[in-house]
Structure 1
Amino acid sequence: MSQFSQLFPPCPKFTNNDIPDQSGKVFIVTGGASGVGFEVSRILYEKNASVYIAARSDAKIQKAIGEIKQLHPSSQGKLDALIIDLANLDTVKPAAENFLSRKQRLDVLFNNAGVMGTNPDQKSAQGYELQIGTNVLGSFLFTRLLEPILLDTASQIPPGGVRVVWVGSMLDIGTPKGGVVWDSQTDAPSVHSTMMANYMQSKAGITFLAHEYASRLGSKGVVSTSLHPGMMKTELQRNMPAPVSAMMGVVFKGPVYGAFTELYAGFSSEIQSEQNGCYIIPWGRLGSVPEHMASSMLSKEQGGTGLSTKFWDWCEMTTASYH
């Protein structure tokens, strides 16, 4: 799809009206207390789902829960808080264990939370560049810790019902060559000198993880997709300069449009086993990654670089001690 088509997509064909009743089903939405995550949580609750809103601040979650319940007073769903700071890997396992102690199924995990606009010298609690530490490592660890319940749920329902949705970005602009630039001296992703290069590298990494997760768990009934949610004005731009943020507020759509993209990834029947690992574009359409990234997602035996698998292995090694 062209850059123009992603910047100015057609009207969404998949909305909240296309989602059936979700009574008895369970969802986690990271970053679900604000922005696009709030809209995803709200729509799921409207459909009578059990929704766990995962975020750093209990006060913020409780505020969101109150607002959602006011908007949908007749819902038979359930809203719960899950405290997690994806920038601090020490908080991830307790959050996963908290959820696992309360639920026996998980239908869709929306890896929606992320940070943008941080300086290259800002670090996660474990000392990684903040955007890759939060957007990639925190989400990867959380997903891996929830893998047993995802697999167990998938074994009990029709194929394609259990999904992991990884929220990436528009990869055609500003993404480093190959998606991730590898530093041979540290044997890890490079830290770039600009915020945007680090941000886009983290989102390319998310796309790699969605692809790798699909290849590993697709045969067991789990669908894994990545997506560009669309250009919207949300809290994601809170670290951007004021003039840029103001311009985004005028040009970009509201967060419910991004929710439609995520919900398409989580529910659309257009996504079958053949599309597992796919990349989705606004406001809910099958897209494709840039060619330089497509090569990274192929093994050397397939004519690619194998960088996607290498990135997965790095995430696995980096987070291993936090399992």
Structure 2
Amino acid sequence: MAATWTEMFPPSPTWTEADMKDQYGRVFLVTGGTAGIGYETAKMIYHLNGTIYITSRSESSASKATEPIKSSSPHPSQTIPSGRGTISYVQLNLSDLSTIKGSAEEFLRREKRLDVIIHNAGVMLPADPEEKTEQGYHLQLGINVLAPFLLQHFLTPLLLSTASLPDTRSFSTRVIWVSSSGHRASPVPDGVSWDDLDLLQASKTGLKKEVERYGQSKAMGVMLAYEFARRYHEHGKGILSFSLHPGALKTGLQDNLPRWFNAIFGWLRHDARMGALTECWAGIREVNVESGEGGMPGDGKVGKNGGYVVPWGRWGDGHESVMKGLMERRTGERLWGVLEKMVGDYM
């Protein structure tokens, strides 16, 4: 299934830099961050005075992002004074599970709190559809799912302790899993081909198979957001976990799409800043706890924790079949167990 109408043609944002609050004293980790949405998100948080870390495979690549951010100016609509933010990088190679623990330990040596982690880095339709990670998994499964899941495993204890600190606001500690409207193209009914996670036996071929692989990896992000919230939402002063579709954007993510596709649909894409508005809406907007925004779906309230956010910062609905599986068939718990076995040797 393609993106919904409201995902393809979102209304103008109602929450922008003019509405964002000071983030001084709070620590953020954005995977990726050297380009595209991650870069714009890191820049926003930096100018909001947050302590922001981005990830990169190399120091030279990170410097090409951090130095321009330091010399940039906040968006003209920003109302809070800027100038107290810091930005650093952590080396991270998502295509090699054996390196994830070391990267997490580097971050843990440098910080004693973690308020928000945004699993932003990802790959879509790699140029070589047969390219594998160091452990032999298809690139989209390895980079979009296995590595973020493993990284989160190592950082969850710090996230939990941060949620219990005296100066932490209720439900301000968050995990954001960047998904896509593409999750609607995942295998039915659960979003996961349980017996063939790399979709090697799938009947589809060529581009259709790669789209399904991408869709499955992004459906897994939706599922992990829900399951993380289910497991940890009541910890400390409350933890929120969301998945999101950042929007159709002008980034390098679409470089490997067919030329005809980019020619037809390229006009729908927006500047990467708009995707950063979506990520920041999910990551730093103060939720209305009294209306139930911190509750889980089905708890008799609004129940948005574990939910799905759409451009440019609005509550949306994940693929009906995927969400039904989470709430009725406990597919999030099942996926969690499957992934733990897959990355167990690297925990």
State the TM-score, normalized to the length of structure 2. Answer: 0.86
In the alignment, is residue 290 of structure 1 matched against residue 325 of structure 2? no
Deviates more, 1:304-313 or 1:3-12: 304-313
Q: Aligned partner of 1:313: which letter?
A: G
Please state whether the residue corresponding to 2:44 is helix, strand or coil. Answer: helix
Contact kept? 2:249, 2:275, Cα under 8 Å: yes
Instruction: Describe the shift of the 1:149–1:131 C-alpha distance in structure 2 as closer, same or farther (beyond 3 A).
Output: same
Residue equivalent to 1:148: 157
Task: Describe how 1:270-281 pairs up with structure 2 within 5 A.
Answer: 270=287, 272-274=293-295, 275-281=304-310
Residue equivalent to 1:195: 210
Aligned length: 315
Contact kept? 1:179, 1:205, Cα under 8 Å: no
- Measured in 2, the distance between the counterparts of 1:288 and 1:248 equals 23
Q: Deviations over 1:272-310 (max 9, x none)?
A: 312210111111001112221122102xxxxx3332221
Instruction: Describe the shift of the 1:199–1:179 C-alpha distance in structure 2 as closer, same or farther (beyond 3 A).
Output: farther
- Measured in 2, the distance between the counterparts of 1:121 and 1:82 equals 28
State the TM-score, normalized to the length of structure 1. Answer: 0.92
Contact kept? 2:185, 2:212, Cα under 8 Å: yes
Q: Could you tell me which runs of 5 or more consecutive residues in structure 2 were left unpaired when the two chains were aligned.
A: 75-81, 296-303
Q: Aligned partner of 1:58: which letter?
A: E
Task: Describe how 1:162-181 pairs up with structure 2 within 5 A.
Answer: 162-171=173-182, 173-181=184-192
Residue equivalent to 1:301: none
Q: Aligned partner of 2:132: which letter?
A: K
Please state whether the residue corresponding to 1:280 is helix, strand or coil. Answer: strand
Q: Could you tell me which runs of 5 or more consecutive residues in structure 1 were left unpaired when the two chains were aligned.
A: 299-303
- Measured in 2, the distance between the counterparts of 1:52 and 1:273 equals 26
Contact kept? 1:211, 1:277, Cα under 8 Å: yes
Runs of 4+ in structure 1 over 6 Å off: none
Contact kept? 2:183, 2:216, Cα under 8 Å: no
- Alignment RMSD: 1.9
Q: Aligned partner of 1:261: which letter?
A: T
Q: Deviations over 1:32-87 (max 9, x none)?
A: 11000000000000111111011223212101111101113962211111110111
Residue equivalent to 1:240: 257
Please state whether the residue corresponding to 1:219 is helix, strand or coil. Answer: coil
- Measured in 2, the distance between the counterparts of 1:122 and 1:179 equals 25
Task: Report the CA distance between 1:249 and its aligned residue.
Answer: 4.2
Instruction: Describe the shift of the 1:48–1:58 C-alpha distance in structure 2 as closer, same or farther (beyond 3 A).
Output: same
